[in-house]
Structure 1
Amino acid sequence: MNIEQLRNYCLSKKGTSEGFPFDDNVLVFKVLGKMFVLTGLQSWEKGEAAINLKADPDYSEELRTEFSSIRPGYHMSKKHWNTVYIDEGELETKLVLKLIDHSYEMVVKTLPKKLRDNLV
């Protein structure tokens, strides 16, 4: 997976926008204003691609136990966010996409019902 594939996949999800709310390096994807993916562009340029994804706390623990490329969220809540190191070669693209989907769904389910209904 490269940065353009990540970008296209995230933007294909309903209600998604992208931006740089922190600085020119951190690309953030939001669903209706709530973050579900963060990535540092410099990490992709260095061949050390990593993304931060929201996850259910129990699922996070399972993932961290099973995959050394999935660690507690860097500069994020360690309970609710994981950092997924894509370029370490352990994770298949299919799994990374599944984790992005999970992050999106975790955020969507916290939105008010009226907003969630607009995504259908």
Structure 2
Amino acid sequence: MTRDQLIEYCQNEYNSEVDKPFKHFPDYVAIRHPNGKWFGLVMNVPANKLGLSGTDEIDIVDLKVEPELNSILQVQPGFLPGYHMSKTHWISARLDKFNSVDDLADLIEGSYNETM
């Protein structure tokens, strides 16, 4: 799945707004409720900053999840502790490990609902 597919899905499904809130990270995209609170953050992060080997950039999305679900997901392929977020309440999903947005649709919906 690509970052553009994820962003387009969120805009269509949740009428979300997107912006680039970080001057020093121009490719980071916040996916927001109409009220301004974000429920997803798409980032391109060097692998070594995620605890992985190498320095190639990896597209990830941070999504808010319940702590119990977070502990289950963190040991599943494609998931990492929330990058630059609360490791208890946020999970990072590697976009290159998922075939389509459908693979993350339930987590996106959960994050949307958790952040209202």
TM-score higher than 0.5: yes
Q: Is the 8 A contact 1:36 1:54 kept in 2?
A: yes
Equivalent position to 1:25, from 24, 27, 45? 27
Structure 2 CA distance, aligned partners of 1:30 and 1:92? 23
Q: Is the 8 A contact 2:63 2:92 kept in 1?
A: yes
Identity across matched positions, percent? 28
Give the corresponding residue for 1:101. Answer: 109
Q: CA deviation at 1:98?
A: 1.9
Residue identity in the other structure for 2:112 = Y
Q: CA deviation at 1:3?
A: 2.2
Q: Is the 8 A contact 2:44 2:58 kept in 1?
A: no
Q: Is the 8 A contact 2:58 2:94 kept in 1?
A: yes
Which structure has the highest helix share of the two? 1
> Would you identify which runs of 4 or more consecutive aligned residues in structure 1 move more than 3 Å?
none
Q: What TM-score, normalized by structure 1, do the two folds share?
A: 0.74
Report the CA distance shift for 1:63/1:4 in structure 2 as closer, same or farther (over 3 A).
same
Give the corresponding residue for 2:73. Answer: 63
Residue identity in the other structure for 2:30 = V
Residue identity in the other structure for 2:103 = L
Residue identity in the other structure for 2:90 = W
Q: CA deviation at 1:100?
A: 1.2
Q: What TM-score, normalized by structure 2, do the two folds share?
A: 0.76
Show the 5 A alignment for 1:41-120.
41=44, 48-65=58-75, 67-87=76-96, 89=97, 91-93=98-100, 94-108=102-116
Structure 1, unaligned runs of 5 or more: 109-120
Q: CA deviation at 1:55?
A: 0.7
SS class of match (2:92): strand
Greater Rg over alpha carbons, structure: 1
Structure 1 CA distance, aligned partners of 2:45 and 2:71? 27
Q: Is the 8 A contact 2:44 2:57 kept in 1?
A: no
